[in-house]
Amino acid sequence: MKISMYDAAVTPGIRMMTNLAAVLEKAAQHAAAKKIDPEVFVNARLAPDMFPLSRQVQVASDSAKMGAARLAGATAPSWEDNEKTLPELVERALKTARYLETLTAEQFEGAEGRAVRWKSRSTEREMPGLPYLLHQMLPNVHFHCTTAYDILRHNGVELGKMDYLGREPPA
């Protein structure tokens, strides 16, 4: 069985963003139940030199939408990174999933060999689509979603592995 670039990039991106939104909603519920200022979670980080939760969500979102768009030969929407509340972060994750749902399998035909170019903080990079997907895009999305989960778990939000993975099996 052959897996398509669409199935490898878009389907997991939608799932990760949807699951991230659910994790963030659980954080909001936890904050309300424990009478914790939700801003504590939004600004929390695991180490002083790491991004706070808000930025982890923004980078996960950008990695999923821009990564998929690059592979599809499309232009991802540009969003301001101005989310300051848990509901705004939930909406950012869901908005990303909705964008990914607009991409079609046909846009990914030939993407495994398509040159993908992007700017990192310090340089411009380029690689073929398949290595980009496997070694850059997916690991980056997972890293930032995992770090967001870990920040919330570290701060007492009752989360488990199934919150990260999602309770419903993929279709």
Element (H, E) at 58: helix 53-72
How far is Cα 107 from Cα 116, in angstroms, rounded to an integer? 14
* Spatial contact of 68 and 109, defined as CB atoms under 8 Å apart: no
* Digitized pLDDT (tens) for each residue of the chain, 171 residues in all: 689 999 999 999 999 999 999 999 999 999 999 999 999 999 999 999 999 999 999 999 999 999 999 999 999 999 999 999 999 999 999 999 999 999 999 999 999 999 999 988 889 999 999 999 999 999 999 999 999 999 999 999 999 999 999 877 665
Helix (H, G, I), strand (E, B) or coil at 67: helix
Phi, psi of 92 (to 5 degrees): -60, -45
pLDDT at 61: 98
pLDDT at 170: 60
How far is Cα 49 from Cα 135, in angstroms, rounded to an integer? 24
Q: Per the structure block, which two tokens stand in for 152?
A: 């919330």
How far is Cα 32 from Cα 46, in angstroms, rounded to an integer? 22
Which residues lie below 8 Å from residue 106, measured CB to CB, with a gap of 6+? none
pLDDT at 119: 87
pLDDT at 171: 59
Residues pairing with 128 in the sheet = 115
Which residues lie below 8 Å from residue 104, measured CB to CB, with a gap of 6+? 6, 72
How far is Cα 74 from Cα 122, in angstroms, rounded to an integer? 24
Q: How many CB atoms lie within 10 A of CB 152?
A: 24
pLDDT at 121: 81
Q: Per the structure block, which two tokens stand in for 81?
A: 């990174």
Structural domains for the chain: 10-105+129-165 (1.20.120.450)
Q: Is the pTM of this model over 0.75?
A: yes
Q: Per the structure block, which two tokens stand in for 12?
A: 């997991």
Q: How many Cα neighbours within 13 Å face the side chain of 43? A: 6
